[in-house]
Amino acid sequence: MSACRYDCIVVGGGHNGLTCAAYLARAGRSVLVLEAQEAVGGAARTREFAPGFRVSACAHLLHLMPGWLSRELDLPRHGLRMAAERMPTFALSAAAGVLRIDPRTHGAPAGLSGVDARAYPRYAARMNRLAAALSALLEAVPPRLGTGAWRDRLTLLRLGARLRFIGRRDLREALRIGGMCVQDLLDEHFESPLLKGALAFDAVLGTNYGPRSPGTVFTLLYRMAAGTASAHAVAQPAGGLGALCEALAAAARSAGATIRTGVPVASIVLRDDRAAGVRLETGEEFEAGCIISNADPATTFLDLLGAEHLDTGFVRRVAHLRTRGMTAKLHLALERPPRFAGLEDASPGRIVLAPSPESIECAFNHAKYGEFSTLPALEVLVPSAADPTLAPHGKHVLSAVVQYAPYRLAAGWTEHRHQFLDAILALLEAHAPGLRDSVCAAELLTPQDIETQFRIRGGHWHHAELALDQFFMVRPVPGAAQYRAPVHGLYLCGAGCHPGGGVMGVAGRNAAREVLREAA
Amino acid sequence: MSEAAPVPKRSNGRDRPEAIVVGAGHNGLVAACYLARAGLRVLVLERNAYVGGAAVSRRLFRGFTYSNCSYVCSLLRTEIIRALDLPSYGLQIIPYEGGCTLMRDGGHLALYDNHDALRREIGRHSRRDAEAYDRFMRDMLRHCRFIKPLLLRAPPDPTTLRPRDLRELLYLGRHFSGLGEERMYDTLRFWTMSCADLLDEYFESEIVKAHLAGSSIIGTALGPRSPGTAYVLLHHYMGSIDGTVGAWGFARGGMGAITQALASALRANGGEIRTEASVDRILTRNGRATGVVLSGGEELHAKIVVSNLDVRRTFLESMDAADLPQEFLAQVRRFKIRGSSGKLNIALDGLPRFPAIPPGAPCIRGDMHVTDTIDMLERAYDDWKEGRWSRRPYIDMLIPTQIDPTMAPPGKHYMSVFVQYCPYHLAEGPWTEERRARFGQTVIDSIAQHSPGFRDLILHAEIRTPWEIEKEVGLTEGNIFQGELTFDQLLFNRPIPGYAQYRSPIRGLYMCGSSTHPGGGVMGAPGANSAAAILRDLRR
Amino acid sequence: MLTETEPHYRQPLLRTRFHERMRAYSQVDSFIPWSGYSTVDVFTSVEQEYFAIRNSASLYDLTPMVKYRVAGPQATRYLDRLLTRSVAKLSPGKVAYAIWCDDRGQLIDDGTVFRIAESEYRLCTAERQLDWLLDSSIGFDVEITEVTADIAALALQGPCSCSVLRAMGLQGVEVLAPFEFKHFVFGAGTAALVSRTGFTGDLGYELWVDPSEAERLWDGLMDAGRVRTIRPVGSRALNIARLEAGFLMPNVDFVSSAHTLRNGTARSALEFGLGWLVDFGKGHFTGRRALLEESRRKPLRRLAGLDVAGTKPAHNALLYSDRAGRRQIGSVTSAAWSPTCKRNLALAMLDAPHFDMGRQVWAEIYVNRELVWQRRMVPARVVERPFFAPARRRATPAGDF
């Protein structure tokens, strides 16, 4: 038994778990990562979904991971390479043509004219300034309130000062728009439905909200803030996002961490009210000084740990955590490159099919009542265009994020997934004539599929809805917002923690820091 | 020019008002009362032939008195009633005994004043919810206790370093941290939540949730699933904060009784009210307010002008754009005032029958709602978003004549029917007589589903879409709150960031309407706060 | 007229199966609400009723006490997570007094738990809390149902209570030890569950029957007790007895943390001196971590028993460390003149270190002399609880009085 003792065990080898393991191992801890699947990566894995066709399983773009994280862990040395960087966004609409939005530039998108073209630079500049101010918040460990601890006060003061020094006008604007709905914000600045659609899409991507839901300016700023620190802007790693996780795993291993795959953890073992180890589904046990869970909070607390070891009030909060996903993922294996009307070739870029905020809102309407969107909004990527290794020679892979697909379809997913697939394919066909005929295999992941395949309760990309009432000091729930569970020795490091999901890695890094701080 | 104009009799200026209040709505009257009490000569100008704004009792059909806009006296601040001694000026408030929601399947949920009756009633739908209701009300009360002291304070500007703002921010911070750690988190979450998510944390029964969610959408262009609606819910609960039952109820004689009492209090304090005096423009000189011009061309001068109009009407329609900073104007233009509510005032030949309500249950004397589920409310909102009135609207109806027979001829009844949602901008084109009639029919049909023979009782129905409300009362888009109650328009953001303390870019020009903190409802707090700001500036 | 005829919106309070019988005994028509039922505050006079409790036999309608049935394979684990004391150690046929806390270790309520069978319990509480009980059941295979209306209950308390039961034909009831219960059959086959429990700190029993047997039980007890002058008692007389016994009364001595609105008004289990009910060794229960942390600190305040000078009950009195009343150190939560001990008793929440045994504090008491109110500063001493604890309450077999 003593041979199996580690300083730290990380449950789950998603990108946050691996990041956390790498940081811990580099600090000299003996670390064991236990991953249920046959390969590491979790929802950021690259999988073969049809013979010869590989695709990033959930997330398919790298645009939120801070550059410093990649540098600190030396990821390029561990094999991380980008197939495409600074990828532009193409907003497509049958009525209004194409807009090309380049990340990180304040220049008006190509294809935009008139008032909007003049308004865009000012809008973009201000939003980027606000996002930059917010990025400090994303990287911080949320403080606790009312404890009087100097560390918490200092964090609050620092963040307060940071906000304060963005200047009075920006601060006023930040305080005003922070809780607004993205549609109202965009209506204040722009007229072009296509531009507004593309920008609104970013705000609602991966959420249970529509452009008219208050709080969506916040989700937009969140995404932009996380993006400001990214080294490559919007990028596609060579080999898919799985390659990133491989690099993280390599970084962890080279620092001395042990990674085991294909070993699902059944439970977290307590001794004297302290997390002291884990038990695998096979019954095998490992001991450790502390356990860090990359699983979502609901799974960690209710399944792995068990409500029995927690207080009722805390369990009540966990049970009320909004964890239901609303986003589906589509993978298509294509015989030939897709040709989107208005785009030259299958250029390496992100294609957004959301012709207007109203169309997104309309798609959202269905989802509120347990129906899938008949005209969904899509983020489409042809990863094989930049990275031919993902598909057999001459063939292509299409990867699309689909809004909205409710976790619980009133009519039942098993019976109706084909109708949904049909609706998406019809939409794609309308923008890329001939695409439908070239499909040789398709995989549609509904939130329920994401739940079962990646062991994320509710199938939400962010593990828990990313909204103001589940953010920062109250994420995932009060009492566990500092990566620390109420049980000694148990930590969280997944997307359910601050700052949330998306392939960012900050939660993993912050959790590692908290573990090290405790032990120090 | 006005100096040269002939001035009547006592021309030594003692007659000239020191403050002019534009609009005799409840907030204008409250502000005027406070100013008059402090010794200022106050003149209130009202466009209509009657005072009250949207808190009025009007005789629009033979022998019937309609509270034809606002219909429930729930929020009027205790401090104001006390300071202005309104009961002495005739204000009588009769508390509710209950309320209910009627369901499509013939069922109902009632809310009773008595705790045990209420528990057993909710227990008919879910025993668990009956007990969760106590937890819900405790938490709502906690939130009320947090917000209550903020209602009668001007919100601090968090972007300045002025001592007063810093002091107020410090107060706010201390008030917040006084909640204790756990409740600070709860408060943070509460303020940003949707009503549907909030209720899901307490209840399992659809009808219980739907009944409570009604308050979260009244007057707003949001659905129960929109984040921020939990706060709107609280906004409607604030009336019962200090536990005085009188806070939730009917005003005898209709809502006009409140503004009539205020007008009497004002006159008793030496204030003056001129009706049918429509203000055309607010005059300024060198960045200072100097008075107003009436639509007839008459100029009235005063060094203080207080506008009870909503912020858009004040600055966009009653002032020269050249007098105002461009950026301020741009912010006024984007201030969101969305028409989302309609109203029917119905004269009835007798008391309608609601078979769902058990005989003798007092809930018929309270607010009766028509809805089934949160989804139904949300779908009603979806209709609004698409520029239609809700096909299945949320209805909040009352028959005040059961309690106050003065409002209708003997044996007859007046029914106030508030309808959510009804858009200002119709997708099918502008409001017409025919469309308004169809809207009214939708509402009447909804009620008739729960009340057989209802149609036959109707003697007269006044159908009010946001368009009529705007035209008659002067509320932009007919928005009952003079501006959406969303995060971006609350506290220090209301109405305009940097101008949340009742002052405007023009010296001597103040705002006192519901566009300002803490917002709408017949609360009076904006009026009182505005007067406090004016008196502070005057060092009175 | 056994149940209510009027709907809840006309008559919000329910009536117990004993209502008609009690009404017949009520001379002063003094009814008060308790947990949604109408119960008797006073039947005849508080003094007469009180002496029945202490010196003969008394009947008190317990039906409104909220009762939950907790059953299922994990019922024991569930209750061990809910309650602060160990339920696993409780064998079938036993009852225990128990408390439960929220996450912060603050008292939610107290009550009794009956282990009816290996995996079936009955939890009796002062207030309804299905919401909390169900949320506590997340992750447990257990079923919780409120059974308040399915069981009629009477408390038979007083030195003669055992004799009354034997007179009614309950063979062998005298060997029932405190906190034990057993099924008995009496009369023409009426089944009753009898527990040796009570809220008076005296010899006494609680009898639980099917509602249809309620009146038979009442009549049987009244008949059997006639020679010993049994009498029904109301809440007020019981309240004096429970104070003598040193028991806490919800909403009087403590406000459930589920109801507190203000920060800092909820009190922890340890502050009520209920540490003896907290078993830190049994595994996790709600509030354990908070209580453990608190137990390592010096207590800030504690509930204490006071022996107050004079005869005027110190109702709601503020307490001071000095006669001049300069420093307030606590306040009285319950107070009464004890006719048995001939002492002026009070329960009070006192700041550290004033709750130490033997400490003297000063109580500010307002005395009404024909509407001429006077303020008195009266010395009071911290004394042991219970204030009254006769040997007969524990003696097994129970005494025959």
Residue A178 touches partner B, C-beta closer than 8 Å:
yes
Q: Span A61-83, mean pLDDT?
A: 95
Average pLDDT over residues B115-132: 96
CATH number for position C92? 3.30.70.1400
In this structure, is residue C267 part of a structural domain?
Answer: no
For residues C138 and C99, membership in a common domain is answered with: yes
Alpha helices (runs of H) in B411-500, residue ranges in sequence order: 433-448, 454-457, 466-473
Q: Is residue C352 part of a domain?
A: yes
One domain, residues C160 and C305: no
Structural domain of C322: 298-383
**Placement of tokens 């007919």 in the chain:** B478
Closest chain A C-alpha to C45 CA, distance in angstroms: 44
Kindly determine whether residue A180 and residue B488, on different chains, have CB atoms separated by under 8 Å. yes
Angle at CA C275, nearest 5°, toward C272 and C278?
125
Statement to judge: residues C50 and C158 lie in one domain: yes
Nearest CA in chain C to A301: C139
Same domain, C164 and C133: no
Instruction: Say if the Cβ atoms of A368 and B498 lie within 8 Å.
Output: no
Residue with tokens 């289990």: C269
pLDDT-derived band at A520, boundaries 50, 70, 90:
low
In the complex, which subunits touch C with 3 or more CB pairs below 8 angstroms? A, B
pLDDT on residue B11 = 39
Rg from Cα positions in chain A = 22
Phi, psi of A318 (to 5 degrees): -65, -40
Residue C161 sits in a domain whose CATH number is 3.30.1360.120
Query: End-to-end alpha-carbon separation of chain B, Å?
Result: 30
Over its C-alpha atoms, chain C yields an Rg (Å, rounded) of: 21
User: Which pLDDT value is given to residue B72?
Assistant: 86
Out of C149, C174, C192, pick the residue that ends a domain.
C149
Do C186 and C197 have their domain in common? yes
Domains of chain B by start residue, with CATH: 19-55+73-93+253-335+485-537 (3.50.50.60), 132-246 (no CATH)
Nearest to A477 by CA among A8, A14, A144: A144
- Average pLDDT of chain B, as a whole number: 93
Cα separation, A217 vs A183, in Å, equals 8
Distance CA C41, CA C240 (A): 12
Which CATH number fits the domain that encloses residue C319?
2.40.30.110
Share of chain C above pLDDT 70, in %: 99
Residues of chain C in contact with residue B145, where contact means CB-CB under 8 angstroms, are 261-262
Q: What six digits make up the tokens of A265?
A: 């953890």
pLDDT in tens, C189-219: 999 999 999 999 999 999 999 999 999 999 9
> C292 lies in a domain?
no
Cβ distance of C7 and B361 shorter than 8 Å? yes
Does B192 sit within 8 Å of A467, measured CB to CB?
yes
Q: Inter-chain contact B135–C128, Cβ cutoff 8 Å?
A: no
Same domain, C39 and C180: yes
What is the number of other CB atoms lying within 10 angstroms of the CB of residue C188?
7
**Residue B243 reports pLDDT greater than 60:** no
Average pLDDT on A213-223 reads 95
- For residue C336, CA distances in Å to B80, C265, C308, C340 come to 43, 24, 10, 11
Determine, for residues C139 and A315 on separate chains, whether the beta-carbon distance falls below 8 Å. yes
Interface A:C, Cβ pairs < 8 A: 45
User: Which residues touch B92 (CB under 8 Å, ≥6 apart)?
Assistant: B251, B252, B253, B257
Residues of C in contact with A267 (CB under 8 A): none
Residue C290: inside a domain: no
C152 — phi, psi (to 5°)?
Answer: -100, 140
In whole numbers, what is the pLDDT of chain A averaged over residues? 94
pLDDT > 90: what percent of chain A?
Answer: 87
Q: Do C186 and C141 share a domain, yes or no?
A: no
> β-strand B19-22 against B42-45: which pairing, if any?
parallel
Q: Is the pLDDT of residue C398 over 80?
A: yes
* Distance (Å) from the alpha carbon of C131 to chain A's nearest alpha carbon: 11
Is pLDDT of C4 > 80?
no
In this prediction, residue C296 has a pLDDT band, given cuts at 50, 70 and 90, of: very high
Total of domains in chain C: 3
In A383-399, which positions are buried (b, 16+ CB within 10 angstroms) versus exposed (e)?
bbbbbeebbbeebbbbb
The residue to which tokens 């998406």 are assigned: A424
> Distance (Å, rounded) from C-alpha B319 to C-alpha A300?
61
Q: Å from A486 to nearest chain C CA?
A: 8
- The dihedral sign for the CA sequence A439, A440, A443, A444: positive
Q: Is residue C86 part of a domain?
A: yes
- Computed over every residue of chain C, the mean pLDDT equals 96
In this structure, are C219 and C157 located in the same domain? yes
Q: Are residues C144 and C156 in the same domain?
A: no
Nearest by CB to residue C8, choosing from B117, B134, B178, is B117
In this complex, do C139 and A307 lie within 8 Å of one another by their Cβ atoms?
A: yes
For residue B375, the chain A residues in CB contact (below 8 A) are 368-369
C284 falls within a domain:
no
Give the pLDDT confidence of C226-260 residue by residue, as tens digits.
Answer: 999 999 999 999 999 999 999 999 999 999 999 99
Nearest Cβ partner for B183 among C9, C131, C263: C263
pLDDT at residue A228 tops 90: no
∠A443-A444-A446 over CA atoms, to 5°? 150
Statement to judge: residues C134 and C157 lie in one domain: no
Whose CA is closest to A461, among A472, A445, A483?
A445
Q: How far is CA B488 from CA A212, B43, C67, in A?
A: 14, 33, 49
List pLDDT tens digits, range A84-129. Answer: 999 999 999 988 889 999 887 788 998 898 999 999 999 999 999 9
Same domain? C50 vs C162 = yes
Q: What is the pLDDT of residue A347?
A: 67
Which residue segments constitute the domains of chain A, with CATH numbers given?
Answer: 2-43+237-321+463-519 (3.50.50.60), 103-228 (no CATH)
Residues C210 and C315 in one domain: no
Contacts of B382 in chain A (CB under 8 A): 365
C50 domain residue, yes or no: yes
Q: Does B361 touch chain C (CB under 8 A)?
A: yes
A318: left (phi over 0), alpha (psi -120 to 50) or beta: alpha
Task: Report in angstroms the alpha-carbon separations of B531 from A72, A225, B248.
Answer: 59, 42, 25
Token pair for residue B398? 């009352």
Write the residue in C128, C129, C263 that is nearest to B178 by C-beta.
C263
E runs forming strands in A389-460: 396-403, 439-445
CB-CB: which of C13, C259, C264 is closest to B138? C259
How do residues C8-54 score in pLDDT, each as one tens digit? 999 999 999 999 999 999 999 999 999 999 999 999 999 999 999 99
Average pLDDT in the B386-402 region?
A: 96
Our CA-based measurement puts residue B188 at a distance from the nearest CA of chain C, in whole angstroms, of 16
- Please report, as a single letter, which amino acid is at residue A126: R
Q: Given C218, C233, C248, which residue is the final one in a domain?
A: C233
Asked if B180's CB is within 8 angstroms of C264's CB, the reply is yes
Q: Last residue of some domain: C121, C149, C177? A: C149
Is C283 within the bounds of a domain?
A: no
A188: contact with B, CB 8 A cutoff: yes
pLDDT for B158 beyond 70: yes
- Residue A306 neighbours by CB distance under 10 Å: 17
Q: What is the pTM of this model?
A: 0.96
pLDDT digit string, tens, across residues A169-182: 999 999 999 999 99
Q: pLDDT digit string (tens) for B19-73?
A: 999 999 999 999 999 999 999 999 999 999 999 999 999 999 999 999 999 998 8
Q: CB A145 to CB B185 under 8 A? A: yes
